[in-house]
Amino acid sequence: MRFPTSVLPCQMLVCLLLACLWGGHAVAADLPSVVAAENTWGDLAAQVVGPDMRVISILKSPVVDPHLYEPTPADARLVAQASLIVANGAGYDAWLDRLVQARRGPAVPVVKADGWTGWHEGDNAHLMYSLPAVAAFVGRFTAACQAVDPAHASAYAARSRAVLAAVRGVREQTVVLRGLVQGQPVAATEPVFTPLADSLGLVMKEQVFQVAVMNDVEPPASSVALFDEDIRQHRVRLVAYNAQADRPSVQRLIAQAHAAGVPVVPVLEIMPPDTHWQDWMHTTLKQVAQVLGQTIP
């Protein structure tokens, strides 16, 4: 049934507008909003807040390179209206820091993954692959939710326990796989996968090449030659590459790995859509197990 716009009650118009703004799902206007720099942290946040807050992730497309992202005026508006902000930190999403600094009005909590006590300046910034960092983030984010919205404190605590149980499930799977693959040499084109590789006890090679690619510069010729030789001589068991950061030197190495029969594992910094963090990690671990000739639950 259609109604002329002139006779639609004002409240109904607001609901329809919100439905358009939030992906076709009407959201109560008075719900606190959580703005996440990336959907990795946004998904974990959404699992904790449930129906009591709305979560908006700015970066949610696997084809976007987070290191090179330039925020838009729409992003600035989201941050300006947020009740709580979450990010990776560690210099990974410094563009969000600028938006937070430009906010007007009262300060709001900002929960960053680099707030984990195990991270230090200069450490690997890809904390979405660090299980201790994720667990610490969930705990600190839950406390921030309870401070912003104490009326639902017990609900946040209950959902947080469920998320932490899922993180423990990933950790248990990691321990099983570590017992099967630790000590094996692997390589990567960028240090995205490294925190998880460390948890598995894998020996990560080609560090100089990885840092250069992460910093958006061409790797030194010597590091390229070493990578070439390690692939040709099968001195690495797999090559992980960041599917979101493509460049000719990376493409050539991946083609060489395929030609040499060295398994290639694509990894991402932004999760695929409609995925939970724990499912993403389980899938990644199973991929690694498979290419290393192992099977895990």
Polymer length in residues for the chain: 297
Same domain, 128 and 66: yes
Same domain, 233 and 203: yes
Rounded to 5 degrees, what are φ and ψ at 111?
Answer: -105, 120
Instruction: Render pLDDT for 154-201 as a digit per residue (tens, 0 to 9).
Output: 999 999 999 999 999 999 999 999 999 999 999 999 999 999 999 999
Reported as half-sphere exposure (CB side, CA atoms, 13 A), residue 172 has a value of 7
Number of domains, the chain: 2
Same domain, 138 and 255: no
Nearest residue to 126 (alpha-carbon basis) of 197, 61, 195, 62: 195
Give the model's confidence band at 12: pLDDT under 50 very low, under 70 low, under 90 confident, else very high: very low
Same domain, 78 and 154: yes
Q: How many helices (H) and strands (E) does the chain have?
A: 11, 8
Residue 196 lies in a domain: yes
Same domain, 263 and 281: yes
Domain boundary among 171, 201, 234: 171
With residue 204 as reference, give the H or E element that holds it.
Answer: strand 203-205
Rounded to 5 degrees, what are φ and ψ at 229?
Answer: -65, -40
Neighbours of 16 (CB within 10 A): 13
Rounded to 5 degrees, what are φ and ψ at 231?
Answer: -70, -50
**DSSP per residue over 184-240, as a string?**
-EEEESSTTSHHHHHHTT-EEE-HHHHHHHHTTSPPPHHHHHHHHHHHHTT-SS-EE
Residue 29: predicted pLDDT: 57
Looking at residue 286, which CATH number applies to its domain?
3.40.50.1980
Same domain, 38 and 153: yes
Residue 3: predicted pLDDT: 32
Same domain, 39 and 115: yes
Same domain, 93 and 162: yes
Residue 8 lies in a domain: no
Tokens of 131: 């299980």
Residue 6 lies in a domain: no
**H/E/C letters for each residue in 62-79?**
CCCCHHHCCCCHHHHHHH
Residue 88 lies in a domain: yes
Tokens of 253: 């190495």
Instruction: Give the C-alpha distances (Å, rounded to integers) separating 246 from 86, 91, 154, 243.
Output: 27, 21, 45, 7
Question: How much of the chain, in percent, has pLDDT values that exceed 70?
Answer: 90
Same domain, 151 and 228: no
Cα 36 from Cα 260, distance rounded (Å) = 41
Neighbours of 202 (CB within 10 A): 27
Same domain, 105 and 163: yes
297 by DSSP, 3-state: which? coil
Instruction: Render pLDDT for 103-147 as a digit per residue (tens, 0 to 9).
Output: 998 999 999 999 999 999 999 999 999 999 999 999 999 999 999
Q: Which domain holds residue 166?
A: 27-171
Rounded to 5 degrees, what are φ and ψ at 58?
Answer: -75, -50
As a whole number, the mean pLDDT across the chain is 89
Q: Residue 65's Cα: distance from chain center in Å?
A: 12
Bridge partners, residue 86, by sequence:
36, 111
Residue 216 lies in a domain: yes
